[in-house]
Amino acid sequence: MVKFLNEIKKYGSDTAFRILDGDKSFNITFEDYYKKLSSCAYNLNNLVTDLAHKKIGIYCNSSYEYTLLLTAIMFSRAVAVPLNIRESLDNLQYEIENSEVDYVVVDNDVLSGLTNIKLVNKDKLLKENGGAVALTDFTEEEKEATSLIVYTSGTTGRPKGVVLSVANLFGFEKAMYDDNAPFDNLEGLKVYTNFPYFHIGGINGWITHFEKGCATYLSINPGNILMDLENEQIDSAVVTPATLNLFKKSVARGHLERLGGAKLLVSAGAPVDINTVELLMENGIGYGQYYGMSESCGNISCNFDCKNHLKSVGMADPNVKVSIIDDEICAEGPGIMQGYHKNPSETAATLINGVLHTGDLGYVDEDGYIYITGRKKNLIILSGGENVSPEELEKELYKCDFITECKVYAENDRIAVDIFADESNSEAILEYIAELNTKLPIYKRIYKKNLLNQPLEKTSSGKIKR
pLDDT over 90, % of the chain: 78
CATH classification code of 190-335+351-375: 3.40.50.12780
The pLDDT score that the predictor gives to residue 228 is: 95
What pLDDT does residue 32 have? Answer: 98
Report yes or no: 267 and 240 within 8 Å, Cβ to Cβ. yes
What number is the average pLDDT over the span 194-204?
94
Asked whether the predicted pLDDT for residue 384 surpasses 70, the reply is no
What is the C-alpha to C-alpha distance for residues 347 and 462, in angstroms, rounded to an integer?
Answer: 24
- C-alpha distances in Å from residue 46, one per residue of 51, 105, 110, 291, 383: 9, 14, 22, 40, 62
Mean pLDDT score, 368-382: 86
Q: In this structure, are residues 195 and 299 in contact, taking their beta carbons and an 8 Å threshold?
A: no
Query: Cα(196)–Cα(206) distance, rounded to whole angstroms?
Result: 10
Instruction: Work out the angle at residue 111's Cα, subtended by the Cα atoms of residues 94 and 148, and round it to the nearest 5 degrees.
Output: 50
Q: Residues 263-291: what's their mean pLDDT? A: 88
Per cent of the chain over pLDDT 70 is 97
Interior CA angle at 268 toward 264 and 271, to 5°?
Answer: 100
Taking the C-alpha atoms of residue 266 and residue 336, their distance in angstroms, rounded to an integer, is 23
CATH number of 381-452: 3.30.300.30
The CA-to-CA distance between both ends of the chain, in Å, stands at 40
- Give CA–CA dist 244/267, Å, rounded: 7
Q: Please give the Cα distance from 238 to 256 (Å, whole number).
A: 16
Q: Is the pLDDT of residue 66 over 80?
A: yes
Closest CA to 188 of 234, 231, 149: 234
Nearest residue to 263 via CA among 245, 243, 288, 296: 288
Q: What does pTM read for this prediction?
A: 0.85
pLDDT at res. 460: 64
Q: What are phi and psi of 109, to 5 degrees?
A: -70, -20
pLDDT at 111: 67
The arithmetic mean of pLDDT across residues 365-382, rounded, is 87
- pLDDT tens digits for 214-252? 999 999 998 899 999 999 999 999 998 888 988 999 999
- pLDDT for residue 387: 74
> In whole numbers, what is the pLDDT of the chain averaged over residues?
92
Q: Count Cβ neighbours within 10 Å for each residue of 87-107 and write b for 16 or more, e otherwise.
A: beeebbbbbbebbebbbbbbb
The pLDDT of 20-48, averaged and rounded, is: 97
Check whether 462 has a pLDDT greater than 60.
Answer: yes
* pLDDT (average), residues 263-287: 87
Q: What is the pLDDT of residues 334-354, one digit of tens each?
A: 999 999 999 999 999 999 999
How many degrees, rounded to 5, is the angle at CA 244 between CA 368 and CA 20? Answer: 120
Banded model confidence at residue 37, pLDDT cuts 50, 70, 90: very high
> Does this chain's domain 24-167 share its CATH topology with 190-335+351-375?
yes
pLDDT at 103: 95
- At position 93, the amino acid (one-letter code) is Q
Q: pLDDT at residue 155 above 60?
A: no
Residue extents of the structural domains in the chain? 24-167, 190-335+351-375, 381-452
Judge whether 187 and 212 are in contact, CB under 8 Å.
Answer: yes
Backbone dihedral region of 245: left (phi > 0), alpha (psi from -120 to 50 degrees) or beta? alpha
Q: Which of 97-111, 148-162, 179-193, 425-439 has the lowest mean pLDDT?
A: 148-162
The mean pLDDT of 143-160, rounded to a whole number, is 84
184/186 Cα distance (integer angstroms): 7
Check pLDDT > 90 for residue 320.
yes
Q: What is the pLDDT of residue 406?
A: 95
Mean pLDDT of 408-421: 94
Q: What is the dotted CATH code of the domain comprising 24-167?
A: 3.40.50.12780
The average pLDDT across 140-158 equals 85
Nearest to 190 by CA among 203, 172, 175, 209: 209
